Structure 1
Amino acid sequence: MPRRRRRTGPPHVAFIIETSMAYGREILHGTVQYVRENGPWTVFFEPRSMQDPAPPWLEHWDGDGIITTLYPQFSELIRRTGIPTIDLDDQEPRSGLPSVQSDQAAIGATAAAHLMERGFTRFGFFGYPQFEWSRLRLEAFRRAVAAAGFACEEYEPAHAVSWGHQMPAWEAEIERVSRWIAGLPKPLGLMACNDFRGVQALDACRRADVAVPEEVAVIGVDDEILACELAQPSLSSVIPDCRRIGYEAARLLDGVLAGKPPPPRSVHIPPRGIAVRQSSDVTAIPDPIVADAMRFIREHACRGIRLDDVVEHAGISRSSLHRRFRASTGRTIHDAISGMRLDRVKHLLIETELPLHAVSDRAGFAHVEYLAAVFRKATGATPGAFRRAHREADARSPSLRPRPGGRGGE
């Protein structure tokens, strides 16, 4: 149908983007930045989930352009409006509309590189086979590990999920996933197609009594921070560059509205890097006794355990555990306990307002003075100076700057 014409003035654009997950919210931040820099636009926006039906106002909406992540749900309705639309959906990449999407191949390759850098030589993939974005991530992950001479096992779900990723019966499925993970050779590097699949993988590992990350290191995709931080252990994740996706989508629509032809192919945006958390922050440990000892240390270091507690848990002599521990990790047992406690201190200093005595108690240090001495020796700074430096760095960081760490987040 011919597109309806509007009165003159700033472009009137609808952002029909799901806001129930960080992926969509970050895209919105990118579109907002473009509008601030290149507007004015008048924008219509309302909160949405992936399951919401088509907006009732859309069929008769008098607008100039649409940017949407939810194209498959109401594709025919959008086509009937005749309104220029930018498709940001990763689940149906062949809409024929101008589109901007995450580079799925780069995401899979980035996850593979992260796990291989940590010494893993056995790999698995836990995804949604019916979704093309998951299949593309698997293909790239598998190519990357194959190029290094390794193989990748894929989990085959018993049930398909809905378009919004809901499992029909997770409790029934998890027993199957647990058996699959338990039967794979260890240590294993496991990529989940997204963070919610990653949280499910961690749940399955717990039920299979498999240590994460010592026996299975898990990495997801999307950096859904709430899900990743609430996971136990916290979940590492590939960080898609959603703000750039939103920014490029707005720029593409602006060009279309100005009469410029859209690019002949989808624009693919590579990820920013990796947010490394506990689920993959490890070097592969082939010795099962040492892997179990590391799990014990990770779970109990901040409860004041000592070396003798680790030896008792391992069930072998102190000298034998020392020898095997150093051979597998390059560190002593004491170093591992201290390192876990210091990591907890850093997290609490950066993420909370707890006073130092509370930080000391939660990290397993008997005295604040001892914590301060150990922390200064390890970092070169007092706990207070460390906290202030991170707060000042956060205050200076522009919204589109990659998160601290290597490769835009690692």
Structure 2
Amino acid sequence: MARRAQHVALVLSLNKRFDRKVIEGVTRFVHESGSWSVFLEDDPTAKIPDFRRGHFDGVIADLDDPRIPRQVAGLTMPVVGIGGIESNCSLNLTVSTVGTHNRKIAELAADYLMRFGLHSFGYCGVPATTIDPWNRERQETFAQRVEAQGHACSVFSARYKPSHSWEQLQEAIRAWLDPLPKPVGVLAANDMRARHVLEACRRFGFSVPDDVVVLGVDNDELICELATPSLSSIVQGTEEIGYRAARLLNALMHRRNQQVTHILVDPVTIVERASTDLIATSNRVVADALRVIRQQACDGIGVSQVARAIGVSRSTLDTHFRREVGRSVHNEILRVRVNTARTLLATTDLPLGEIARRAGFCHAQYLSSIFRRKCGQTPGDYRRRAR
């Protein structure tokens, strides 16, 4: 006799890219090891079921939607929340959660932007809510990280929602950016807010990335490519969040785990695009070398060819480069190639051999060896986390 399928409600939004990637992770778990009957509605007004009549065995719910915590509070069935719960939440909401490690996102962003040699930084937030702490966590951690290195960080606390006050929002971002020392590195709360920053820069004459270096979060490819210039962004492990939420709920439904558990999933990588394509050095030898490396690293160029292209000896290039950048020219070429491979793994379905070719590696085995050494995991493991 076949085992009864578990009836699970996915209270997530099909029109949000983050939620869709979470659902992909849930789907992967169900295909691998679950026997679930799934409730999922695309109509936002119908996505929350009537739990009193649905006979559900478990729930995976988006806690960042302000309507949902009140709906799942007090349910006797297992619930796994996607997102976080405020420590001062007025609801008695003791459910397990799987969410983004927002502090790791902010630390990754700060370290990345500081690598450009910047001394001025800003965080562009979204209007605060009473439900989730993610925006505040990213803001506080980013500011602490750059301030610990002796740099200033200015915070834009949004007062305007673009759907209601687009012009006021643009003027407010201009007024925020205008007095900041340039170049300034800006982390935006998410890709949509980063696009608002880029639009303000374009309208009011701030050059990106020469005046303002902009980094978003989510790597929503539609938003990132729609932006002018294209937006660099942090890839969250959203599918991994869905997979681990489904695995946790399955354990709860089968009584294998009775404890309230909170799991944080680290960000995967940064996909670099034009909004962070900054060469922040006054050393002409290093600036010219960095330009050549960015343009030709994946074409197989070596250190001698870089030196020849900018008209200096190899020893002169190495001396200047190590003093300004803190690593060798060879390691910089390798870094660009590995970053290219990371981007292709995260954003395409290309086979590893083709990725190796496009990233400037002679064959897939060499890419795998270098990738494991630099990233601490195989290309295949990295791709699974990123997708």
Could you tell me the TM-score, scaled by structure 2's length?
A: 0.71
TM-aligned CA deviation for residue 27 of structure 1: 0.6
> Which of 18, 22, 25 is the aligned partner of 1:23?
18
TM-aligned CA deviation for residue 122 of structure 1: 0.8
> Which of 69, 73, 79 is the aligned partner of 2:73?
79
Matches within 5 A, 1:222-241: 222-241=218-237
Contact (CA 8 Å) 1:174, 1:204: kept in 2 or not? yes
> Which of 379, 387, 392 is the aligned partner of 2:351?
392
| SS at 1:198 equivalent | helix
Looking at structure 1, the residues matched to 111 and 245 of structure 2 have their Cα atoms a distance apart, in angstroms, of 29
TM-aligned CA deviation for residue 399 of structure 1: 11
TM-aligned CA deviation for residue 277 of structure 1: 1.1
TM-aligned CA deviation for residue 157 of structure 1: 2.5
Letter in structure 2 aligned against 1:330: A
Looking at structure 1, the residues matched to 190 and 47 of structure 2 have their Cα atoms a distance apart, in angstroms, of 25
- Closer, same or farther: CA 99–390 of 1 in aligned 2, 3 Å: closer
Q: Give deviations 1:271-315, integer Å, cap 9, x for gaps.
A: 011111111122335xxxxxxxxxxxxxxxxxxxxxxxxxxxxxx
Alignment partner, residue 186 of structure 2:
190
Alignment partner, residue 402 of structure 1:
382
Could you tell me the TM-score, scaled by structure 1's length?
A: 0.67
Contact (CA 8 Å) 2:232, 2:273: kept in 1 or not? yes
TM-aligned CA deviation for residue 341 of structure 1: 7.8
TM-aligned CA deviation for residue 17 of structure 1: 1.1
> Which of 17, 27, 33 is the aligned partner of 1:32?
27
Structure 1: 5+ residue runs without aligned partners?
Answer: 1-6, 286-323, 346-378, 380-385
Alignment partner, residue 60 of structure 2:
67
- Closer, same or farther: CA 395–20 of 1 in aligned 2, 3 Å: farther
Q: Are 1:220 and 2:251 matched, yes or no?
A: no
Looking at structure 2, the residues matched to 390 and 55 of structure 1 have their Cα atoms a distance apart, in angstroms, of 34
| SS at 1:210 equivalent | coil
Contact (CA 8 Å) 1:14, 1:44: kept in 2 or not? yes
- Closer, same or farther: CA 390–43 of 1 in aligned 2, 3 Å: closer
Contact (CA 8 Å) 1:60, 1:81: kept in 2 or not? no
- Closer, same or farther: CA 167–91 of 1 in aligned 2, 3 Å: farther
- Closer, same or farther: CA 154–175 of 1 in aligned 2, 3 Å: same
Q: Are 1:330 and 2:326 matched, yes or no?
A: no
- Closer, same or farther: CA 203–134 of 1 in aligned 2, 3 Å: same
Alignment partner, residue 302 of structure 2:
none
Alignment partner, residue 366 of structure 1:
none
Identity of paired residues, percent?
A: 30
Q: Give deviations 1:123-179, integer Å, cap 9, x for gaps.
A: 0000025142111001111111122221200013233x4xxxx64212222112112
Contact (CA 8 Å) 1:21, 1:224: kept in 2 or not? no
Contact (CA 8 Å) 1:182, 1:208: kept in 2 or not? no
- Closer, same or farther: CA 137–392 of 1 in aligned 2, 3 Å: same
| SS at 1:279 equivalent | helix
| SS at 2:264 equivalent | strand
| SS at 1:330 equivalent | helix
Looking at structure 2, the residues matched to 248 and 103 of structure 1 have their Cα atoms a distance apart, in angstroms, of 14
Looking at structure 2, the residues matched to 190 and 44 of structure 1 have their Cα atoms a distance apart, in angstroms, of 40
Letter in structure 1 aligned against 2:115: E
Letter in structure 1 aligned against 2:183: P
Letter in structure 2 aligned against 1:64: D
Looking at structure 2, the residues matched to 273 and 244 of structure 1 have their Cα atoms a distance apart, in angstroms, of 14
Moved more, 27-36 or 53-62: 53-62
| SS at 2:73 equivalent | helix
TM-aligned CA deviation for residue 63 of structure 1: 1.4
Matches within 5 A, 1:289-368: 326=284, 330-331=287-288
> Which of 272, 278, 285 is the aligned partner of 1:282?
278
Structure 2: 5+ residue runs without aligned partners?
Answer: 300-336, 338-343, 356-367, 369-377
Contact (CA 8 Å) 1:54, 1:74: kept in 2 or not? no
- Closer, same or farther: CA 265–167 of 1 in aligned 2, 3 Å: farther
Looking at structure 1, the residues matched to 147 and 25 of structure 2 have their Cα atoms a distance apart, in angstroms, of 35
| SS at 1:135 equivalent | helix
Contact (CA 8 Å) 1:119, 1:283: kept in 2 or not? no
TM-aligned CA deviation for residue 57 of structure 1: 4.3
| SS at 2:164 equivalent | coil
Moved more, 10-19 or 75-84: 75-84
Looking at structure 2, the residues matched to 121 and 216 of structure 1 have their Cα atoms a distance apart, in angstroms, of 12
TM-aligned CA deviation for residue 58 of structure 1: 4.1
| SS at 1:46 equivalent | coil
Looking at structure 2, the residues matched to 196 and 242 of structure 1 have their Cα atoms a distance apart, in angstroms, of 17
| SS at 2:20 equivalent | helix
Contact (CA 8 Å) 1:91, 1:133: kept in 2 or not? no
Alignment partner, residue 241 of structure 2:
245
Alignment partner, residue 356 of structure 1:
none
Looking at structure 1, the residues matched to 203 and 150 of structure 2 have their Cα atoms a distance apart, in angstroms, of 31
| SS at 1:143 equivalent | helix
Letter in structure 2 aligned against 1:392: P
TM-aligned CA deviation for residue 204 of structure 1: 1.0
Alignment partner, residue 364 of structure 1:
none
| Bigger Rg, which one | 1
| SS at 1:331 equivalent | helix
